């Protein structure tokens, strides 16, 4: 590791690259999947859907490359890290039972945590090697770092996959046993995470949130988005409000650290918005858990899981907006806990 790179900075760069990579890799299929179903068996729609799935298969490669970009690597080592991440992710596996000679089968996006670990190993190896390979770097770096780190990730994959599956299963089990309480806890957690440095998308994918757990997570993100938009309209320039509405909630991180009371209306809205999640079994997928209203991924996922259109509109938009407005009135006007401009004015 570069001596100027502390473990904290290193981890933050890995998380930042992972967050961007997940968005780039997953958003197209997450948005298009539900829309394309409206076209039935139309050949063009089917082909576009297949293209989106194949593109999503490259998510680990995209993540690894963007993690390397965080470390300002040149193009060749950047792609080596991406290749290693793809190998270690488990996104493609060899199945000897297919055909006479076996076949390599795509299996989704692999394990995100193992992708991050493999990418980190590849980055460390490249930093350790430096310029020692000289003119033969273009030959040795892919072999020793790309294949080497990828092989390490390959052997780690079964253990990391079991760990992440156990975490996801545990959360999903608790949601089944105590749906309202667990939906509220998950919703509040993601309401906080969306304006923290931690990626909600990465967390949702990493621990494989599913079903109601994923729905509650996405609802927490949606709740904070609505609160920020409602309070930003008369506080910030239209461009700031528009950016938040499109998904740039993390631009409010400075506000969270300087004025943590911003979480009060966010939690209030997240708690009330989470109750319908449990009552109506609003579900999602690991890919939709961290997006919320961004790209209407959360609503589309719940629609695909069987929620009718009227409830989608009610639960994802009407209830969060009413709760956000009620929170604004209660905490600012009645209890006078804060002034909107002091808490929600963009500090960037």
Q: Any idea where the domains of the chain sit in the sequence?
A: 7-165, 178-344
Helix (H, G, I), strand (E, B), or coil: what is residue 41?
coil
Residues in the chain: 348
What integer is the mean pLDDT of 124-150? 94
What average pLDDT does the chain have?
89
Task: Report pLDDT for 3.
Answer: 47
Least confident of 50-59, 199-208, 245-254, 301-310: 199-208
Cα distance between residue 118 and residue 115, in whole Å: 5
Q: pLDDT confidence of 196, banded at 50, 70, 90?
A: confident
Nearest CA-CA partner of 323 in 196, 225, 211 = 225
Cα distance between residue 170 and residue 193, in whole Å: 20
Other beta carbons within 10 angstroms of residue 203's beta carbon come to: 20
pTM listed for this prediction: 0.71
> What is the 3-state composition of the chain as percent helix, strand, coil, each rounded to the nearest 5?
75, 5, 20
> How is residue 153 written in tokens?
């990730």
Q: Does the structure show a pLDDT above 50 at 1?
A: no
């Amino acid at each position: 590791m570069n001596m100027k790179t502390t473990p904290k900075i290193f981890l933050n760069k890995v998380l930042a690259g992972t967050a961007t990579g997940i968005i780039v890799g997953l958003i197209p299929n997450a948005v298009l999947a539900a829309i394309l179903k409206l076209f039935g068996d139309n050949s063009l729609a089917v082909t576009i859907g297949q293209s989106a799935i194949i593109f999503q298969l490259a998510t680990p490669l995209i993540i690894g490359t963007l993690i390397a970009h965080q470390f300002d690597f040149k193009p060749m080592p950047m792609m080596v890290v991406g290749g290693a991440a793809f190998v270690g992710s488990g996104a493609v596996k060899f199945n000897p039972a297919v055909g006479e000679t076996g076949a390599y089968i795509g299996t989704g996006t692999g394990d995100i945590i193992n992708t991050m670990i493999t990418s980190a190993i590849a980055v460390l190896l490249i930093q350790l090697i430096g310029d020692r390979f000289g003119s033969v770097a273009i030959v040795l770096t892919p072999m020793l770092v790309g294949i080497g780190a990828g092989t390490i990730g390959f052997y780690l994959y079964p253990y990391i996959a079991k760990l992440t599956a156990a975490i996801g299963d545990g959360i999903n089990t608790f949601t089944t046993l105590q749906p309202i309480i667990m939906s509220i806890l998950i919703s509040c957690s993601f309401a906080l995470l969306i304006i923290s440095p931690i990626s909600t998308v990465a967390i949702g994918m990493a621990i494989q949130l599913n079903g109601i757990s994923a729905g509650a997570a996405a609802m927490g993100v949606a709740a904070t988005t609505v609160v920020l938009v409602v309070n930003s309209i008369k506080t910030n320039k239209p461009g700031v409000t528009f950016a938040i509405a499109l998904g740039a909630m993390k631009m409010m991180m400075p506000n969270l650290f300087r004025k943590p009371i911003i979480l009060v209306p966010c939690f209030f809205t997240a708690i009330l918005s989470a109750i319908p999640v449990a009552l109506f079994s609003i579900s999602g997928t690991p890919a939709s858990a961290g997006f919320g209203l961004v790209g209407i991924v959360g609503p589309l996922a719940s629609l695909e899981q069987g929620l009718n259109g009227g409830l989608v509109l009610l639960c994802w938009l009407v209830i969060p907006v009413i709760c956000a407005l009620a929170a604004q009135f209660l905490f600012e006007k009645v209890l006078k806990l804060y002034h909107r401009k002091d808490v929600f004015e963009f500090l960037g």
